[in-house]
Structure 1
Amino acid sequence: MKKKYQGNVKAKWVQLQGFHIEFETLHIKSGESVTNFFARTMTIADKMRIYGEKLEDVTILEKVLRSVTPKFNFVVCSIEESKDNDTLSIDELQRSLLVHEQKINQQE
């Protein structure tokens, strides 16, 4: 029983490390929509939480802000200056980026 439990713990740890690498290397792909990027990000974050990672929303927010393409740089600066990351929700960030994405797409 003890060996079986230890095997499960080790397997979970290995799986969690894989999710950590995936989360750390996550970036928006060229031409990818904000909606799809958020879906990918939240899927990885949810998997990490299922495996016991205490992943705070602010960590996800900061990762998203670091991972968007340069065309969003002015939006990221604006959000960072005007809002406190501790009080900003993931939904609010997604809405802000979606609005700017729509404006950019209309101009192209």
Structure 2
Amino acid sequence: MKKKYQGNARVKRAHLQALRTDFEALHMKPGEFLSNYFSRMMAIANKMRIHGEKMEDITIIEKILLSMTSKFNYVICSIEESSDIDALSIDELQSSLLVHEQRINHDVKEEQALQVTTNNHSLTSRGRGRG
């Protein structure tokens, strides 16, 4: 029984070490949606907790804030300045960042719509001017 448990402990340690490496290397990919990134982050963090890692929410929050893409820089600065990071929950952080992501995506869609409208207008006006 003792040998069997020691084998399980070694396997558990090896899994935990691999998960720590994955956690440290985790960064948000350019163009990745925030919800997908949070899912990847929480999947690794939960596996680490299952394997015995005593990971607190503040560790996950700090990792998220450090590993976001640059388009979130100013909202991260705002969150760090206006909130007590120690009292912030992962859900609160996620909601704040999701609101920001929705605004960014809305602005990008409006900008693209304006470009399409401008391009169509310039194409039609070119043909009418010569006649």
Shorter-chain TM band: over 0.9
Deviations 1:1-56 (A, max 9, x none): 22111110000000000000000010011111110100110000000000000000
List structure 1 segments (4+ residues) > 3 angstroms apart after TM superposition: none
TM-score of the aligned structures, taking structure 2 as reference length: 0.81
Return the alpha-carbon distance in structure 1 between the equivalents of residues 15 and 45 of structure 2: 13
Equivalence for 1:56: 56
Question: Which has a greater percent of helix?
Answer: 2
RMSD of aligned Cα (Å): 0.6
Deviations 1:60-99 (A, max 9, x none): 0000000100010001100000111110010000001000
Return the alpha-carbon distance in structure 2 between the equivalents of residues 94 and 5 of structure 1: 39
Equivalence for 1:9: 9
Return the alpha-carbon distance in structure 2 between the equivalents of residues 9 and 16 of structure 1: 10
Q: Which runs of 5+ in 1 are unaligned?
A: none
Larger Rg: 2
Equivalence for 1:25: 25
Task: Report which structure shows greater RCO (CA 8 Å, sep ≥6).
Answer: 1
- Which one-letter code corresponds to 1:33 in the other structure? F
Equivalence for 1:106: 106
Residue 76 of structure 2 corresponds to residue 68 of structure 1: no
Return the alpha-carbon distance in structure 1 between the equivalents of residues 71 and 29 of structure 2: 13
Return the alpha-carbon distance in structure 2 between the equivalents of residues 78 and 14 of structure 1: 38
- Which one-letter code corresponds to 2:27 in the other structure? H
- Which one-letter code corresponds to 1:21 in the other structure? T
**What is the percentage of aligned positions where both structures have the same residue?**
63
Q: Which runs of 5+ in 2 are unaligned?
A: 109-131
1:79-98 equivalences in 2 (<5 Å): 79-98=79-98
Q: Say how many residue pairs are matched.
A: 108
TM-score of the aligned structures, taking structure 1 as reference length: 0.98
